[in-house]
Amino acid sequence: MLALLGAVFGGVLRLAPEVLKMFTAKRDQDHEFRMRELDFKQAKELREMDMKRLDVEAQMTLDAKGLDALLAGIQAQGKSTGIPWIDAVSQTVRPALTYWWMALYTMVKIATLTVVWGESATWGQAVLIIWTEADMGILGGIINFWFLDRVIRKRA
């Protein structure tokens, strides 16, 4: 009986290191798997950040080239051809178009104001009706056109 018990315990004790090695190997494999997952996730995030950075750089390049093209166009506009009547017409196009548009715009607003007053609206109500967000945008565009153009010309 002692021999049998010795054989059993001896076999169990001999297998114990092998079982421990199996658990250790399993734990090591799980750890390695988690580390690879983290590495993969980090690499993916780095690629995404690189792509965003490249997109931003590309947009900045496009914006800079667009401004350079605008500046070159404005500089080319300012150069005279040497033919006096062509230069005179060229210099009056913007102001003439602006005055023409303002005359038409004013006529439309006066007509609208007349209709609104015809419906017994007060002055304050009429102004709120005829002055819209679109009008504010148009006014902003005109101011930007005239004054931003001067800033860009001075920069050139």
- Same structural domain, 97 and 133: yes
**Does the pLDDT value for residue 138 go beyond 80?**
yes
pLDDT-derived band at 11, boundaries 50, 70, 90 = low
- Same structural domain, 109 and 129: yes
Q: How many domains does the chain have?
A: 2
Q: Answer for the pair 128, 116: CB distance below 8 angstroms, yes or no.
A: no
Mean pLDDT of 47-58: 95
105 CB burial (10 A radius; 0-12, 13-18, 19+): middle
- pLDDT given at position 37: 95
Structure tokens, 139:
């006014």
Task: Tell me how many degrees the CA angle 101-106-111 measures, rounded to the nearest 5.
Answer: 130
**Does the pLDDT value for residue 18 go beyond 80?**
no
Could you tell me which residue, 75 or 20, shows the higher pLDDT? 20
Q: Report helix angle 123-130 to 84-118, nearest 10.
A: 130
- Same structural domain, 51 and 14: yes
Single pTM value for the model: 0.42
pLDDT in tens, 98-120: 899 889 999 998 998 888 888 88
**Domain around 65:** 1-79
- Same structural domain, 60 and 92: no
Nearest to 141 by CA among 110, 107, 108, 97: 97
